[in-house]
Structure 1
C-alpha cells in the first residue's frame, strides 16, 4: 500500500532517521512546533502502515570482534529473485539481503563470517539455494545518512524548509 506522506510525516521520518534512539516524541514535537501527542499518533500510524518497519541497531562489526563483514554479490533468476532473497536471509551469518531490480547482480547479501571457512560456508549455502555468487568483497565501513527528501516541509524535494 502506498501511503500519502505529508510535510509533518516527512519531518518526523527525517528526525527519526537521524537519531531514533535518543529522540523522544516531545523532542520532535518541540522542533516541529506541534504537540507530542500529534507526533506519537503520527509515528503509530506510520508504523501501522509499515512506512516505519522497525528500529535497528547500527553495529560496528569490527569493533565487536568480527572483521569479516562481507558483501556477497549474487545473481538470481528474475522470477525467483524475491523467494531466493528471502531464503538467503535465513542463512546463518547473513545480516541483510537486498533485491536489486536490474542487472546481473540482483541480490546483495551482507554477511558476517568468523573466519574464511565460515565465509566459504555462507557462499556454498547461497549457491545451494540457487543464487550464483559473482563477487565477494570485505566491507570496511558503511556510511549512512537520512534521506534529505524527508527534511522538506514543503514537499519540493529541495530540502529547503523555509528557515533561516
Structure 2
C-alpha cells in the first residue's frame, strides 16, 4: 500500500469532508484555502483515485426508522480466519459495520441493527454458524464521530 503525503490543501479537503461531506462544497473549501474550486475538485478526484477518500456515508438514526436495537457484538475469530469471517459477517442481514481488531481474542467488532430481540437472536445464531464466537453484546445508546484534527490546517 503506497502512502500518499498530504499537503495543506489535501488535509483541508479531507478535514472538511470529515466534518460534513454532504454540505461542504468545493467552493467553500476553495474560498477557505484561497484556491479555485476546480483545483479542489481535481484534488478530490486524485484523493479518490489514490484510495485516500474511499466513500461518503450517510449517518442514520436507526431508532427513527423503527429499528430500536443498535448493538455492538464483540466476537472472537481464529486469527488465521479473522479477515474471511469479518467479510462473511457483512452478509448477515442486520449487520451494518464490521471492524477487525488486532488482538487474539475479541478481534472482530460488529454493529448490528434489529427491530426486536428476535432479530438480535437470529443475527447471533448466524454469526455463530459462520464461525464467530460472541464474547459480549452491548446496546449502543448514541454514537459520536469527529474529524481527525490533524487534518485541520486552520488549527496549526
SS at match of 2:23: coil
Structure 1 CA distance, aligned partners of 2:52 and 2:79? 26
In structure 1, the partner of 2:147 is: 146
Aligned-pair distance for 1:152?
Answer: 3.3
Structure 2 CA distance, aligned partners of 1:103 and 1:32? 44
SS at match of 1:63: helix
In structure 2, the partner of 1:48 is: 49
Q: How do residues 76-87 of structure 1 correspond to structure 2 at under 5 angstroms?
A: 76-87=77-88
Aligned-pair distance for 1:10?
Answer: 0.9
Aligned-pair distance for 1:127?
Answer: 0.7
In structure 2, the partner of 1:61 is: 62
Gaps of 5+ in 2: none
TM-score by length of 1: 0.91
Where has structure 1 moved over 3 Å in runs of 4 or more?
Answer: none
Query: Size of the alignment, in residue pairs?
Result: 155
Aligned-pair distance for 1:103?
Answer: 4.4
Contact kept? 2:79, 2:104, Cα under 8 Å: no
Aligned-pair distance for 1:114?
Answer: 1.4
Structure 2 CA distance, aligned partners of 1:149 and 1:142? 21
In structure 1, the partner of 2:112 is: 111
Cα root mean square deviation, aligned? 1.1
In structure 2, the partner of 1:136 is: 137
Higher helix share: 2
TM-score by length of 2: 0.95
Contact kept? 2:89, 2:127, Cα under 8 Å: yes
